[in-house]
Structure 1
Amino acid sequence: MKTEDCQSLEELRRYIDQLDDQIVELIATRNAYVKQAAKFKQSIDEIKGDERMEAVMDRVRNRAMEFGVSPNLLTKLYKIMIDEMVEAEIAEFRNAKSL
């Protein structure tokens, strides 16, 4: 991971804003894939998939440590994100089944 040596607070904030834009776009893309997953699943229990959630959380914890970021921070963020995306996937599943 490469970061620039910023010469001012304004420059630093521009980089952070650019990163935030990328993060939001990546989360939106992830959410779109999660919604697609609903068409491959047979039940709401399968959507909630505790085993998959644990695997994702383990992977995130490991990646956080590789990059020197707090695993607790990332697992908290991912828990919120996954919980919300699971709800969106359930809604997608129910909509598809009602057609």
Structure 2
Amino acid sequence: MPKAVKCNSLQDVRDNIDRLDAVIVPLLAERIQYVLQAAQFKETRGDVRIPPRIEFIVDRVRSFAQEEGMDPDMAESIYRHIMEESIAREEVRWDVINED
């Protein structure tokens, strides 16, 4: 992955943050689309939250963060929030798919 370049002004910093946000948000949108698809493959609403899968993802993210020189605790916090939001939306999707 590319590393941050040295900025010469606050505007350079802001421009780079804006550039990255334009990449990050579409990736998050793609991620949630996969999460929502998962609802159709789960037999029960309880199958939406799988603690071992959550911990697997957290462990991977912490490792990725460490490799990139990012604070693993920060990465874990961000991802736990993403996963909680994703689970909430997947539960709603599961309910819609399984209405009687």
State the TM-score, normalized to the length of structure 2: 0.91
Shift, 1:12, TM fit: 1.9
Residue 40 (structure 1) aligns with: 41
Q: 1:91 is aligned with what amino acid?
A: V
Percent sequence identity over aligned pairs: 34
Shift, 1:95, TM fit: 0.1
- Do residues 28 (structure 1) and 68 (structure 2) align? no
Structure 2 matches for 1:1-99, cutoff 5 A?
1-98=2-99
- Gap runs ≥5 in structure 2: none
For 1:2 and 1:87, how far apart are their aligned partners in 2?
Answer: 33
Shift, 1:20, TM fit: 1.4
For 1:68 and 1:37, how far apart are their aligned partners in 2?
Answer: 32
State the TM-score, normalized to the length of structure 1: 0.92
Query: How many residue pairs were aligned?
Result: 99
Shift, 1:88, TM fit: 0.3
